[in-house]
A and B are shown apart, each in its own frame.
Chain A
Amino acid sequence: MAEQTALTDIRPEGRPDAAVVRDALGVGVAVGLSGFAFGVTSAGSGLTLWQTCALSLLVFTGASQFALVGALAAGGNPFTAAAGAFFLGVRNAFYGLRLSQLLALPRAVRPFAAQWVIDETAAVALAQPTRRSVRIGFAVTGLSLYVLWNLTTLLGALGAEAIGDTAAWGLDAAGPAVFLALLAPMLRGGTERAVAGLAVLLGLGLLPVLPAGLPVLVAALAAPVVLWVRGRREGPEGER
């Protein structure tokens, strides 16, 4: 199973472990610290300390957490709110598709690794050239991010009242900046840029007309659409 995939184990041209760990810690620490913004937002939306911490411990996928808290604050019923959060979480399944191939984990380990399958771990792991560095990148990003995200969620929830207006501190810009930093290295080719551009148009254009969470899922269709258009343009031989 593992032999069929493109990556081979430890190759001489692989990156030094220290460089992988440094990159992984950079992402883990930076994003982990933004758990503070979540803690503040969640507490400010009326959730208790336990509820806020339970979200970071059990859900552990930032965009879904923010979406859920926002929907509850807006007075949505629990199932509609959870549906929006779920739709945002669906993208993690696609990361998992990619990661299961690159990580080649034993089946028994997968249920434990699953909780760490999120934007950031996927972005770091996918950027690595060898299986060894993919695994190191995934594990170090996952562990540092999980520990810090939960610690800073707790601190944020505790400190929410002391801070006052969180928007004044610019903390609401941390989320999109994180996503942009994860996205940037993926925009190497024309296809990637076309997909990103179309996804932005769909995501923003549909926002006012569809229920929360759905526009992002529809925007994901940008990927098959662009592939299909390219396939047609290049003729039957162009499809790879």
Chain B
Amino acid sequence: MNVWIAIGVTAVSCYAVKLAGLLVPAGVLERPLVKRLAALLPVALLAALTAQQTFADGRALVLDARAAGVAAAAVALFLRAPFLLVVAAAVVVTAGVRAIGG
């Protein structure tokens, strides 16, 4: 039951914030500072998420095979590889490093 409560609360709250963003009046968004901020916030959030999912194990910071995988993804991106290949590189290298014993 607890799990269903968590799912319900998460589903409703996550939908609400998605909708809220779309419903903010257009006038607010015409202000240059708001425009600039709205463009930069995703950069900050994605950067923080990428770093956390690469180096976090629960609430501890670790350096493991994921770092090698994400580094491989970065190289693939630099070489302008298609999206699917970038993700595949990360998964394959991570699995490879773990298989070797990293």
Contacts and interface: CB of A to CB of B under 8 A. Distances in A.
A169 B10 CA distance: 29
Contacts, number: 301
The winner among B18, B58, B98 for most chain A CB atoms within 10 A is: B18
Interface residues of B, number: 73
Contact of A172 (B18, B59, B66): B66
Contact of B41 (A167, A174, A187, A223): A223
Interface string A85-107: 11011111111111111000101
Sorting the interface of chain A by its residue count into under 10, 10 to 19, 20 to 34 or 35 or more gives 35 or more
B94 A93 contact: no
B90 A195 contact: no
* Chain B, interface SS category: helix
Interface of A: 1, 4-5, 26-27, 29-31, 33-34, 47-48, 51, 54-55, 58-61, 63-64, 68, 70, 72, 74, 77-79, 81-82, 85-86, 88-101, 105, 107, 110-111, 113-115, 117-119, 122-123, 126, 167-184, 186-187, 191-192, 195-200, 202-204, 207-208, 212, 215-216, 219-224, 226-227, 239-240
A-B residue pairs, 9 tightest by C-beta:
A96-B21, A203-B48, A170-B95, A177-B90, A170-B94, A219-B48, A173-B69, A78-B6, A58-B11
A199 B95 contact: no
Interface of B: 2-7, 9-11, 13-15, 17-24, 26, 29-30, 32-34, 36-56, 58-61, 65-66, 69-70, 73-74, 77, 82-84, 86-87, 89-96, 98-99
